[in-house]
Structure 1
């Protein structure tokens, strides 16, 4: 499961590539995320190890290949189910309030 920051970096990479036809530089990632370069590099390394991106030549972000642009469905946390609600007829709103 990705952290919020790793998910944010992945979405920035995906959206930036689709909008500008190139990947953002590390400096642009630091500006867009508000984090420092070591944090950005750690997030990119985590995305590589989780097989979301492929980045063999780490000299430039132009060498990144996105394998998956979204977090995998099986890794998302499950939300608790809401309790069942009592069904009321349409007139109850007007007669009870």
Structure 2
């Protein structure tokens, strides 16, 4: 399961590459996330370990390859299923005062 910050960096990488046809630099990632360079590098390392991205030559982010742009369904937290509230009838609102 990705941390919120890793998920944010992954979404920035994916959306940036889709819109601008290139990957953001480390400086652009620090500006977009509001965190320092060490935090960005730690998030990128986490994405590499989780196999969301591949980054062989770490001299530049243009060498980065996005393997998966979204978080995996199996890793998303599951919400509890809540039954819908039962209402007797909508007609009772108009007929019972």
Alignment correspondent of 2:20: 20
Q: Which runs of 5+ in 1 are unaligned?
A: none
Paired with 1:47 and 1:4, the residues of 2 have a C-alpha distance of 12
CA root-mean-square deviation: 1.4
Alignment correspondent of 1:66: 66
Alignment correspondent of 1:7: 7
The Cα shift of 1:84 comes to: 4.3
**Which secondary structure does the structure 2 equivalent of 1:79 belong to?**
coil
Paired with 2:85 and 2:73, the residues of 1 have a C-alpha distance of 27
TM-score (norm: length of structure 1): 0.93
The Cα shift of 1:70 comes to: 0.2
Paired with 1:96 and 1:39, the residues of 2 have a C-alpha distance of 61
For these two proteins, the number of residue pairs brought into alignment is 97
Change (3 A) 1:29 1:93: farther
Q: Which runs of 5+ in 2 are unaligned?
A: none
Alignment correspondent of 1:30: 30
Paired with 1:41 and 1:95, the residues of 2 have a C-alpha distance of 65
Alignment correspondent of 2:44: 44
The Cα shift of 1:85 comes to: 2.1
Paired with 2:93 and 2:2, the residues of 1 have a C-alpha distance of 44
Deviates more, 1:7-16 or 1:74-83: 74-83
Alignment correspondent of 1:78: 78
Change (3 A) 1:24 1:93: farther
TM-score (norm: length of structure 2): 0.93
